[in-house]
């Protein structure tokens, strides 16, 4: 492997591990804030215990997420220095705001919340965790605005061989980025809901503190049900954006090769990239891809052959990732609807509770697949239409990247294992 491939693997691996922690932080912070607010409003001590129990799991995940996130920004300087030189004015400003305006706000109030249980009024203490939740979601916004520039660059001018910031307003009102943000963040809420339901189901199956975990389960269920429906509806809208701005990515998502109108969608396809066709196409739904892409059965949808081979994303990986994302998303909707129907007699449905314990990883897999669609589908561009990934890598020795990649694999796997161990250890505890 060369420096480019090793650098891509290193960033992908580090992001993959970091993205295990981030979604749970985003969603669980809101659930903990909601539970504590219920305690303030009702005086019911159960909700206070819930805020503390789920808050401890939030803190474990938050701490390890911070550790794994710091190195990602360093990689832009070490492995992607040409990229940093080219778009650093724009990309760097967004990351700087994320660090100073969101991350420090979040970190500060996390500390206030942890140490303030006996020193602050109940109301102000609840306000602190809402600030934490707001800051966590604000932090994600700036990160995705930065990524949104890579997906749909705007608000820049090319001067002296570099992309320089021309309109900060255009960068932060990038519609593609906002659509991507909503899709990602609401997907994180689904994940947090499934996490709370899965842990609660484990305890309910053992008849442990039924009142506490029954209430927790129903809070997680309501949160996940609404969020999973929003993700599906908003996902269609985001698909329209992809069709309009990144037609090659859309074609790869569907393994669609020939440009045409009234394009069907095939429920079963097997891409054959080498021969620029699908080796299997079956169960086609007439005009469905035209409808999904442009809300018009007669709309023209560009096929992969409309793009030069060097401008096409990896088709098979993008196609499979998209299928996995949609499949897991559908499964999550079915599980939450099933749970809604059984919410008043959960203990009488042990089969469903067992499903929910095993379903904890499902939203993680859906989000990772979605991330692969977004990032792999953007290739060969690191900044869509502006800079190719191969032109962005640092001029460093392959051996340097190989050694650092090996170190990343070892350290990040240890951190991920530590996170899972600590979450499992404290999730098994039964609140008094």
pLDDT digits (tens, 9 = 90+) for 176-234: 999 999 999 999 999 999 999 999 999 999 999 999 999 999 999 999 999 999 999 99
Q: What pLDDT, on a 0 to 100 scale, did the predictor assign at position 135?
A: 92
- pLDDT on residue 228: 94
Average pLDDT, the chain: 91
Residue-level pLDDT at 390: 92
Average pLDDT over every residue of 116-140: 92
CB-CB contact of 355 with 197 (8 Å): no
β-bridge partners, 162: 159
Neighbours of 340 (CB within 10 A): 14
Q: Which of 92-101, 128-137, 245-254, 373-382 has the lowest mean pLDDT?
A: 92-101
Tens digits of residue pLDDT in 295-333: 999 999 999 999 999 999 999 999 999 999 999 999 999
pLDDT value, residue 101: 80
* pLDDT at site 350: 93
Say whether pLDDT at 1 is over 90.
no
| Dihedral pair phi/psi, residue 119, rounded to 5° | -115, -15
Provide DSSP, 108-121: HHHHHHHH-TTTS-
Phi-psi region of 281 (alpha: psi -120 to 50; beta: other; left: phi over 0): beta
Tell me the two tokens of residue 390.
Answer: 């191969």
Average pLDDT over residues 340-351: 90
Residue 164 bridge partners (DSSP): 157
pLDDT > 80? residue 73 = no
Residue 15 pLDDT level (bands cut at 50, 70, 90): confident
- In sequence order, which residues have a C-beta less than 8 Å from that of residue 250 and are 6 or more positions away? 239, 242, 243, 256, 293, 301, 302
pLDDT tens-digit readout, 132-166: 999 999 989 999 999 999 999 999 999 988 999 88
**Does the pTM exceed 0.85?**
yes
> Is residue 378 scored above 80 in pLDDT?
yes
Q: Which two tokens stand for residue 52?
A: 């503390």
């Amino acid at each position: 492997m060369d420096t480019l491939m090793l650098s891509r693997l290193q960033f992908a691996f580090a992001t993959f591990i970091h993205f295990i922690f981030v979604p749970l932080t985003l969603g669980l912070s809101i659930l903990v804030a909601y539970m504590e607010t219920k305690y303030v409003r009702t005086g019911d001590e159960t909700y206070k215990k819930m805020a503390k129990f789920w808050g401890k799991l939030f803190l474990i995940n938050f701490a390890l997420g911070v550790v794994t996130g710091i190195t990602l920004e360093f990689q832009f300087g070490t492995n992607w220095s040409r990229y940093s030189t080219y778009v650093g004015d724009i990309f760097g400003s967004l990351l700087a705001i994320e660090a100073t305006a969101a991350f420090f706000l979040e970190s500060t109030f996390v500390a206030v919340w942890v140490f303030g249980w006996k020193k602050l009024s109940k109301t102000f203490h609840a306000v602190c965790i809402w600030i934490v939740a707001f800051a966590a979601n604000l932090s994600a916004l700036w990160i995705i605005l930065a990524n949104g520039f890579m997906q749909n660059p705007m608000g820049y001018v090319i001067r002296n061989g570099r992309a320089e910031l021309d309109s900060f307003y255009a960068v932060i009102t990038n519609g593609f980025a906002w659509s991507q943000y909503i899709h990602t963040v609401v997907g994180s809420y689904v994940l947090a809901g499934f996490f709370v339901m899965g842990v609660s189901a484990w305890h309910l199956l053992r008849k442990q503190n039924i009142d506490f975990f029954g209430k927790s389960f129903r809070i997680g269920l309501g949160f996940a049900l609404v969020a999973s429906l929003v993700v599906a509806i908003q996902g269609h809208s985001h698909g329209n954006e992809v069709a309009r701005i990144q037609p090659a990515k859309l074609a790869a998502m569907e393994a669609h090769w020939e440009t045409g109108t009234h394009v069907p969608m095939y429920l079963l396809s097997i891409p054959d990239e080498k021969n620029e066709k699908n080796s299997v196409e079956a169960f086609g739904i007439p005009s469905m891809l035209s409808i999904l892409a442009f809300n018009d059965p007669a709309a023209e949808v560009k096929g992969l052959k409309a793009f030069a081979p060097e401008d096409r994303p990896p088709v098979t990986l993008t196609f499979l990732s998209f299928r996995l994302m949609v499949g897991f998303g559908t499964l999550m909707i079915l599980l939450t609807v099933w749970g809604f129907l059984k919410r008043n007699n959960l203990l009488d449905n042990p089969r469903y509770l067992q499903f929910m314990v095993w379903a904890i990883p499902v939203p993680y897999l859906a989000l990772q697949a979605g991330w692969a669609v977004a990032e792999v589908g953007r290739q060969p561009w690191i900044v869509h239409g502006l800079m190719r990934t191969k032109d962005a890598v640092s001029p460093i020795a392959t051996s340097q990247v190989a050694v650092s990649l090996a170190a990343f694999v070892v350290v990040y796997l240890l951190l991920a294992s530590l996170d899972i161990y600590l979450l499992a250890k404290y999730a098994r505890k039964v609140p008094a």
